[in-house]
Structure 1
């Protein structure tokens, strides 16, 4: 199973819970057995069960596709943020043929950013959900880029998980402030680049306000830049900015430094501080995420995963289709050889004469014998397993599911299709059904006893 982060484990566990809540219980006999065999506390067993089901049903691969789509969506939004910031700077300064209204330029570069910043802070304090539109846009783009139908189940589960622990505001805050930080950095970089490549004249114009108002405004905005060593236009410069006989070079440089400092201090630094704060709160909350065992979907698993006694006689419905057999046992974790038969009648002489190093697991003809062997195999998986079947019986879903479950608990498996007893023949059509079913399971099969393979590991 692919190595996942703790958050992704919880995410998949929540996805499985929501699936079962809306569509009913899944076929989880093997998942429950493996979770019980692994041991540990109840949250650990619930996660192991959910991760096994997610791997079987394709949710783990869907999560990988969704994460790839999420990265592409984030990259697209980053590029758009950079282009937006550069466009803001270009529209503010123009091509240098006309003088730049310094206060109009400042409002263009900082106005929208400050309004949305205050709006986000207000929503964070009083609503907790402001900025969700940008988060929904990212989720929508992620789903489109993932192009996996099963990935559609993942975003709702993530939102439910984060909202339950109130982490969605910090995740969205990191995204929103991070994108605005890129916009302001892009605008600042383009601003400096354009000023370095072209000569711009700065003016102030107003019908309602005079030089005294702009002097006061400039002084107020220059308090922090002055404290950091950035110069600002003096009062006399502001008053004579429109005078063409004044030292234009000195005025031009003073306004340029003041504009760059204002964008840096009032545009970039607040977004940087808020992004880092949201990121810190997000990581802190993420590390504290735990399963809520009081949820109905988890509470009902307690008896199945940590039973006080063995419950018999309950059979879950068979799955609609069989899943591909992939052994979960490594070669170094297995040992020995084992022969087992499924539902043989008295007409077969059983067991055959076996080599000394091959064990006989008997005939599985009841739920108790099946569960007993599966529990044994989960603790002591064999290196080689041969499963004997009577091809006179129909290859029903129950028998094939049992074969697949046995095969997943052995390093290597072969199916032995027994010959018919003397005086009886095999139905060619039924035998063909067995061949097709075992080929779908990708298990090797033969009509002769694989005793040499069981003893030596080769034919």
Structure 2
């Protein structure tokens, strides 16, 4: 799965979570999404990526995909042994009852094939099988963390009816492995041991058996597999030790198994793979969902938020961008969080301003989103407690700068608590001279 499809998948997961549990704390995610070039779909995806990374959804998706890969490998190994079991059961007795052997080799294959075909036609969103249920169950067991419950529903919602091609791909892959394994074991057994073949019937006549045998062997005979003649078929009502007859029946059995078993599954495997590839290329985000429509205003590009009409333009521009006009061209800035309004920043430093209320914080983060800093120094009054809001703001500022450090402008009552918080944030201390270096 390519990165774009993973992004769409996470976007749908975020939508379902927000639909059930309410909006994430998404102010910074909206800000980052609004800053990118692209249409509404691109901005919604970017918002979801920020939220996913922050809330562990991306890690949960990666963990799920890894567990799915491991479970597929395990089920493929089980399929190898299953195929070998089919071959041994078909040749369990000697002489071999030909039609019982065919039933052992192809019976379950044909039943599951018919069920899968019917489910694809009438239940395109639920065309699963025992393999799919086993695969998903094993993937969940192998997952190292609690799986986000909306991941799988989001995947199904995203792909809709096209999910049937993925299910078909997986089902036919497992059956191809089973049948190839059975073929290898059949060839080994028939090559290393003498088997006699016979047919037995109570209801059918010898002529009916001859017709069925020739009908089944007609297509394989076109591919070079030998077809026993009428005399051979009639004489095989009782097992014979004639080497030519044994060889003809063995080739007939292998031909039918390859044509009606392996070839059918491989062709379906290729067909489902091609359909799935095409489906993946056509998948896009459905922005008509109400949850996405409610994001249109929040994800407007930042420049458009500042220029809507003349009255709003003057008011918004004056509060949001004029305070930063004196620092344009600089990349080393100072900000102050919850510092008294009377505090004066060093004159030689490019000062973005005080972040003492939500409007100041939002405007400054908008500016830094558009103009990331090379160095950002955060001035802090250590008389203020390092509460969750302060810590989240510092984290948000750190993401907007290549290098970030903290400047304690005093040694107040909460100084020791701030020192502990800095260790958790993995951020160093500095003073204003750091910006001049």
The TM-score with structure 1 as length reference comes to 0.85
Distance (whole Å) between structure 2 residues aligned to residue 419 and residue 296 of structure 1? 50
Distance (whole Å) between structure 1 residues aligned to residue 408 and residue 273 of structure 2? 60
Partner residue of 2:54? Answer: 56
Partner residue of 1:326? Answer: none
What is the DSSP-based 3-state SS (H/G/I as helix, E as strand, rest coil) of the residue aligned with 1:412? strand
TM-superposed deviation, 1:450: 4.1
Distance (whole Å) between structure 1 residues aligned to residue 36 and residue 71 of structure 2? 38
Contact 2:140 2:147 in 1 (8 A): no
Partner residue of 2:317? Answer: none
Higher mean displacement: 151-160 or 62-71:
151-160
After superposition, what is the alpha-carbon deviation per residue over 1:202-260, rounded to whole angstroms, capped at 9, x for unaligned?
1112222232221111110111011112111111011112567x671000000000000
1:27-38 → structure 2 map (5 Å cutoff): 27-38=25-36
Contact 1:335 1:381 in 2 (8 A): no
Contact 2:64 2:139 in 1 (8 A): yes
Distance (whole Å) between structure 2 residues aligned to residue 376 and residue 190 of structure 1? 69
Distance (whole Å) between structure 2 residues aligned to residue 242 and residue 169 of structure 1? 45
What is the DSSP-based 3-state SS (H/G/I as helix, E as strand, rest coil) of the residue aligned with 1:143? helix
TM-superposed deviation, 1:193: 1.1
TM-superposed deviation, 1:414: 0.8
- For structure 2, list consecutive stretches of 5 or more residues without a partner in the other structure: 313-328
Partner residue of 2:234? Answer: 239
After superposition, what is the alpha-carbon deviation per residue over 1:354-397, rounded to whole angstroms, capped at 9, x for unaligned?
3xxx4221222333332222222222222211100111122222
Task: Tell me, yes or no, if structure 1 residue 288 matches structure 2 residue 285.
Answer: no
Partner residue of 2:316? Answer: none
1:152-231 → structure 2 map (5 Å cutoff): 152-163=149-160, 166-231=161-226
Residues 335 and 54 of structure 1: is their aligned pair in 2 closer, same or farther, counting only changes over 3 Å? farther
TM-superposed deviation, 1:401: 1.6
| CA root-mean-square deviation | 2.2
1:347-366 → structure 2 map (5 Å cutoff): 348=343, 350-354=344-348, 358-366=349-357
2:115 corresponds to which of 105, 112, 119: 119
Contact 2:84 2:185 in 1 (8 A): yes
Task: Tell me, yes or no, if structure 1 residue 377 matches structure 2 residue 368.
Answer: yes
Contact 1:139 1:155 in 2 (8 A): no
Partner residue of 1:455? Answer: 436
Distance (whole Å) between structure 2 residues aligned to residue 247 and residue 141 of structure 1? 48
Distance (whole Å) between structure 2 residues aligned to residue 151 and residue 309 of structure 1? 35
After superposition, what is the alpha-carbon deviation per residue over 1:103-137, rounded to whole angstroms, capped at 9, x for unaligned?
11011111111122122212222232332543233
2:337 corresponds to which of 333, 342, 351: 342
Distance (whole Å) between structure 2 residues aligned to residue 212 and residue 383 of structure 1? 90
Distance (whole Å) between structure 2 residues aligned to residue 198 and residue 75 of structure 1? 32
TM-superposed deviation, 1:150: 4.2
Partner residue of 1:85? Answer: 83
1:232-271 → structure 2 map (5 Å cutoff): 232-242=227-237, 248-271=242-265
After superposition, what is the alpha-carbon deviation per residue over 1:406-443, rounded to whole angstroms, capped at 9, x for unaligned?
111111111111126xxxxx32xx22222222222221
- For structure 1, list consecutive stretches of 5 or more residues without a partner in the other structure: 313-333, 421-425
Distance (whole Å) between structure 2 residues aligned to residue 29 and residue 145 of structure 1? 35
Distance (whole Å) between structure 2 residues aligned to residue 36 and residue 147 of structure 1? 35
Distance (whole Å) between structure 1 residues aligned to residue 280 and residue 219 of structure 2? 36
TM-superposed deviation, 1:78: 0.8
What is the DSSP-based 3-state SS (H/G/I as helix, E as strand, rest coil) of the residue aligned with 2:378? strand
Partner residue of 1:432? Answer: 416
Contact 1:177 1:272 in 2 (8 A): yes
Partner residue of 2:99? Answer: 103
Contact 2:196 2:241 in 1 (8 A): no
Partner residue of 1:397? Answer: 388
TM-superposed deviation, 1:291: 0.9
Contact 2:386 2:418 in 1 (8 A): yes
Residues 433 and 247 of structure 1: is their aligned pair in 2 closer, same or farther, counting only changes over 3 Å? closer
Distance (whole Å) between structure 1 residues aligned to residue 60 and residue 114 of structure 2? 38
1:312-327 → structure 2 map (5 Å cutoff): none
After superposition, what is the alpha-carbon deviation per residue over 1:257-310, rounded to whole angstroms, capped at 9, x for unaligned?
000000000111111111211111111111111111111111111110027646
Residues 249 and 184 of structure 1: is their aligned pair in 2 closer, same or farther, counting only changes over 3 Å? same
TM-superposed deviation, 1:152: 3.8
What is the DSSP-based 3-state SS (H/G/I as helix, E as strand, rest coil) of the residue aligned with 1:302? coil
Distance (whole Å) between structure 1 residues aligned to residue 77 and residue 341 of structure 2? 73
Residues 126 and 155 of structure 1: is their aligned pair in 2 closer, same or farther, counting only changes over 3 Å? closer
Partner residue of 1:26? Answer: 24
Task: Tell me, yes or no, if structure 1 residue 276 matches structure 2 residue 270.
Answer: yes
More helix as a share of residues:
2
Partner residue of 1:130? Answer: 127
After superposition, what is the alpha-carbon deviation per residue over 1:159-213, rounded to whole angstroms, capped at 9, x for unaligned?
22222xx112111111111111111111111111111111111111222223222
2:427 corresponds to which of 423, 431, 443: 443
TM-superposed deviation, 1:29: 0.6
